[in-house]
Amino acid sequence: MEYQPPAPPEERPLLITPDMLVPARPQDPRVPFEKGMSYFPLFVVLLLLANAAAFLWEIATGALADQQAIIAAGALHRDSVLAGEWWRLFTAAFLHGGFDHILGNSIFLYILGLGTEHAFGLARTAAIYLFAALTGSLLSLAMSPGPAVGASGAIFGLMGALAVVFYRRRADFYVRDRAIGAFVGLLAVYQIFIGFTQPFVDNWAHLGGCLGGAAAVLVIRPVLGQESRTYSPAVKGLLAAAFALPAALWLFAAGYLAAAEAQAWFHYGDRPAAIAAATRAIEKNPANTYMLYIRGLLYTSNGQFDAGFVDLDAYLRLNPRSAHAFYVVGQIYYGREQFPKAIEHYSQALALAPRDVNLLNSRGYAAILVGDYAAARADFDAIIAIDPGYAPAYGNLGLIRAYQGDYPQAIELLAKARTMDASQKVLDNLIAALRSERQGHKADATNRYSLFISDANKDRSAWLAEIRFAEARLRALRPAAK
């Protein structure tokens, strides 16, 4: 009989019970913060356009020339605000101190503005921004006399507002891309760095703005969770045309694009390109006097002193509040050895910037060359009162003593300047010559004066008074040395 395998057992379905399942992960009830965010935040875009237009106006009108010019443009300045010009608390937030400043602020504003306008809507974002601009300006005024400019105080207010919102609504929303937070942090560090490197940027405004923005959202409620506030393509197009078309026509007609190009080339050191762009800007808009200033500086730094003088002189007749322009014209007169005219222009610059030690030093040095030692000594004493570590003042006081025949004091002061500034090795032979002459070693003094003149002639304009003194001593000593 053939073998038959046993029949398989009857299969029965297995009942799955809940205790046999792996527990399901709880669903995150939060939603991404970025959900529904518009990448065309209207208020932020309007701010960017306003800041760009204001910066072009600064370039065109010469607001970046010096402190007096930026104050006249609307910078934050303690004395002016206390005198009743309270509007500076807000106008300063629309001005900037340079290309790097406005570029960094624009990137920072767009990124933070995306989130803030998404969280609060247009009107509430505007309120936070302006309040942060105010608190930033107030803290800046309390801690610094100014001048200061920049939107970064108000922008830090947006950062403070978002930080509070993220913390208070952390149970409802999360940021999908955490790298955004790190990038914003890096931008904040960059803005603070700019605050230390740009002359008119104040980090106290950053802190005040951040605190103001954080405080504002304790009162202003966000609108997170509402439907997306995006704008239709038609609305975007109309808005872009409304701002871009007139702006483009104005910029091309007035030549301000060429002015901006000239400023950029000037900033990056390409003199020929900057001169060419400034010339185009002046041809298109003769009223753009700031380009005369820029081109004059470029001509002067390029050794084209006559052309530089023409531009700067024309600029000063129209804008007599530029200390730096007066200084550069004074330098041109100095280079021509027209020292009384140089002193006149240095004095006009000092009337606008009375504590500028470089201006005081230039005027005092020119006074030595015309033999007005009392006026020169007054300038160098004023420098030491302002900045006791300013080495050239001691050296120039020593030179005055040498001209007056007080060799012990001259040697002491020149040696002090040499010790304070190790780069001034050229003084070594002058000091040694004075010592030798004082000790009666006329042959050695003659040799030392000759060596000094040889070294100093490599930068004759910087050592002209010392060279003239050494040449006079050589004429006096050589017959005796024979």
Dist. CA 75–CA 92, nearest whole Å? 5
- How many CA atoms does the CB half-sphere of 9 hold within 13 Å? 3
Is-catalytic flag, 206?
A: yes
Dist. CA 115–CA 158, nearest whole Å? 9
What is the distance between the terminal CA atoms of the chain, rounded to a whole angstrom?
Answer: 150
Quick check: 257 and 251 in contact, CB under 8 A? Answer: yes
Q: Which of 77, 96, 118, 206 is catalytic?
A: 206
Distance set, CA 134 to CA 87, 106, 187 (Å): 10, 19, 22
- DSSP track, 243-308: HHHHHHHHHHHHTHHHHHHHHHHHHHT-HHHHHHHHHHHHHH-TT-HHHHHHHHHHHHHTT-HHHH
Dist. CA 72–CA 459, nearest whole Å? 38
Of 397, 402, 412, whose CA–CA distance to 445 is shortest?
402
Is-catalytic flag, 152?
A: yes
Quick check: 466 and 424 in contact, CB under 8 A? Answer: no
Provide CB contacts within 8 A for 118, sequence distance 6+. 33, 34, 36, 37, 38, 41, 224, 229
Quick check: 325 and 293 in contact, CB under 8 A? Answer: yes
Hey, how many other C-beta atoms are within 10 angstroms of the C-beta on 48?
A: 18
CA angle 134, 139, 144 (to 5 degrees): 125
User: Which residue(s) pair with 148 in the sheet?
Assistant: 76
Dist. CA 130–CA 128, nearest whole Å? 6
Provide CB contacts within 8 A for 261, sequence distance 6+. 277, 281
Dist. CA 336–CA 316, nearest whole Å? 19
85: burial class by Cβ within 10 Å (0-12, 13-18, 19+)?
middle
Quick check: 413 and 430 in contact, CB under 8 A? Answer: no
Q: Which of 106, 152, 322, 362 is catalytic?
A: 152
Residues belonging to the active site: 152, 206
